[in-house]
Amino acid sequence: MSAFLTKLWLEDVDGDNWIVAAPFIYQSDLLNGIVVVPDGTDTDLASVPPAGRPFLAKSGPYNKGAVLHDAGYFGKLRTKDGQRIHLVKPLCDRLFLEAMLLSGVDPDLAQWMYAMVAAFGKKEQVP
């Protein structure tokens, strides 16, 4: 069963970017295992353009999903043993949805955010 195995600790860099301050560990049903976001990983949380921020904040109950999503997009996810996990974009997007729902994000909002990253998220990931 999916579960957050550690608390998410973030350090605010400039109000638009954050750094994961301690390893963030997640048990994913989707990926059938444990993934680790190492400390020092950077994130912009929800990639909300400035015009959209009156309607959806960059930071919110979806932070855990956003951190996992960013780490997956940029090749930062690791196994418990430190091996790099390579995910394709659709899996990163679904991991975002899985973690948002586990975090208690309203299912309609979670589905909408998932649809937005699926449609408009970066098309090419950093290897």
Mean pLDDT of 93-106: 98
- Within a domain: 127: no
Tens digits of residue pLDDT in 30-69:
999 999 999 999 999 998 777 777 888 889 999 999 999 9
In the chain, which ranges are continuous DSSP H helix? 63-73, 89-102, 107-120
**How is residue 36 written in tokens?**
């680790």
- Within a domain: 27: yes
Question: Is 123 a residue whose pLDDT tops 80?
Answer: no
Any residues with CB less than 8 A from the CB of 99 and at least 6 apart, and which?
2, 4, 26, 28, 64, 65, 68, 69
- Within a domain: 26: yes
- Within a domain: 85: yes
Question: Is 90 a residue whose pLDDT tops 90?
Answer: yes
- Within a domain: 126: no
- Within a domain: 46: yes
- Within a domain: 125: no
**How is residue 84 written in tokens?**
């790099």
Mean pLDDT of 96-120: 94
Q: What's the structural domain count of the chain? A: 1
> Tokens 């680790």 appear where?
36
